[in-house]
Amino acid sequence: MPDRDRRTVRDLRRGNRSGLLRHLYFEGPLSRQELSQDTGLSPASVSNVVGELLGAGIVTEAGAVESDGGRPRILLKVDPGHAHLVGVDVGETRVRVELFDLGLAELAKAEYPLTPGDYAVEPIVGHILAGLDAVVAESRADPATVIGVGVGVPGTVEQGPEVLVHGQTIGWDAVPLGRLLGAGTSFPLFIDNGATTLGQAELWFGAGRGASNAVVALIGSGVGASIIADGAPYRGASSSAGEWGHTVVRVGGRRCRCGALGCLEAYVGAEAVIERYGKEVAPDEETVLEALIKTAECEPEARRVLEETALYLGAGISDLINLFNPERIILGGWAGLLLGGRLLPEIRAAAAAYTLRHPFEQTTIELCHLGPDAVAMGAATLPLAHFLATGGAPEPSPRARVRAGGAVRASTRVTHGLTNS
Ligand SMILES: [Zn+2]
């Protein structure tokens, strides 16, 4: 069985390389000795892997630190300029395309407004492809260094042999988005739900850093959630888990955009809050909701609508805590940040009133750190996750590929289970 043995050794080496790269990415700069201590790999194995990563240009030296008595230790970090990533946010009001370096610093951005209520697939595909050309040109990045394009979309993304998007509230019925985009670009594509991608960004770089069990609750016009269980996104049988907005808070209640009655989204989504106040929903919901929050300082009816919103939101959050026992609930999305910025104490109080005491005491409820526009950055974490999981290995084929989202274990903690080789 020499073949099997060789494969096993190769797999171990790949696992070591991936684990070390991931640790260095999130915790670096680190010395070889620290890498050995943190990962449990022997100094010789670390030296081998680091040699490979330096040789490939993925890792670079980042100065030196004094060591007690001995020679100064060289620090290492992942070179942010080694590769580029693109993130695409297909939102309710616009398509945004952003190009990042490997450290997720934004280098270029393109934006295409959408007419609210009009989500025809073909123009959106056109915007994304035009945006790819635009950001590559603006950043002057060598296209060969773009290691992938992450796309965050509304709705459920079914990751089968063909990636299909089921966006019931925007009229997308099994849209083969991967195939449509793949016809116009040769960059590797990674497609996932926008809330899931933002959840991954918050978990890695924002309010969720260090948590293994968290829920990122997102409120815009619509309402969704990204559930992180044991460091990885929880998806369910066909990737639709996290449709928190369509859990029922009032049997027989207001009509939701999905057609059902009494969904959470029909009470706390931006559109719903504005309608409950008796206002017309204007194209610029953000301005209208901001004005409503300001009005509530002196007008009882606006205040009543907001207080009721805090109750529904708290009740919805209590469902998340009772079901998933998270360490953290992270509230975001543009409307979530507006409402949470004004109502967080009331939301916490309502959640406390509806949640079992013990799990509530284990949970904090806080606001997203990355701001409301981080979906494109979140989408860029999809190719980044692939890069880290494969140890930064080059792609085997230059043809267009579509991969399952970023369902890669997202823990930023010390990587265990590495094996010396
Ligand atoms: Zn609904």
pTM: 0.81
**Residue 353 Cα to chain centre, angstroms:** 30
26 or 13: which carries more pLDDT confidence?
26
Between the CA of 246 and the centroid of ligand 1 the distance, in Å, is: 4
127-151 residue pLDDT tens: 999 999 999 999 999 999 999 999 9
Cα-to-centroid distance, 418 and ligand 1 (Å):
44
Distance 56 CA to ligand 1 centre (A): 49
Find the 314 Cα to ligand 1 centroid distance in Å. 18
| Amino acid type, 168 | Q
Percent of the chain with pLDDT over 90: 69
Say if residues 49 and 41 touch (Cβ distance below 8 Å). yes
Question: Distance between CA atoms of 354 and 346, rounded to whole angstroms?
Answer: 13
| Å from CA of 272 to ligand 1 middle | 11
Cβ neighbours for 18, distance < 8 A, ≥ 6 positions apart: 388, 389, 390, 391
List the one residue out of 360, 367, 373, 415 whose CA is nearest residue 391.
Answer: 415
Ligand 1 midpoint to CA 259 (Å) = 6
Per-residue pLDDT tens over the stretch 245-293: 999 999 999 999 899 999 999 999 999 999 999 977 676 888 999 999 9
Tokens coding 25 = 């990415």
Q: How far is the CA of 241 from the centre of ligand 1 (A)?
A: 14
Angle in degrees, CA 127, 142, 23, rounded to 5: 95
Distance 250 CA to ligand 1 centre (A): 11
Q: 198 - beta bridge partners?
A: none
Distances (CA, A) of 224 to 45, 221, 252, 313: 43, 10, 21, 12
Confidence label for 233 from pLDDT (cuts 50, 70 and 90): confident
Taking only the tens place, the pLDDT of each residue in 306-323 is 999 999 999 999 999 999
Between the CA of 163 and the centroid of ligand 1 the distance, in Å, is 24
Burial pattern 152-186, b for ≥16 Cβ within 10 A else e, equals bbbbbbbbeeebbbebbbbebeebebbebbbeebe
Rounded Cα distance between 237 and 354, Å, is 28
CA 51 to centroid of ligand 1, rounded, Å: 53
Q: Residue 215 forms beta bridges with which residues?
A: 227, 329
- What is the whole-number distance in angstroms between the Cα of residue 258 and the centre of ligand 1? 4
pLDDT for position 4:
54
- Å from CA of 257 to ligand 1 middle: 6
Distance (Å) from CA 244 to ligand 1 centroid = 9
Residue 225 alpha carbon to ligand 1 centre in Å:
13
383 CA distance to ligand 1 centroid (A)?
A: 31
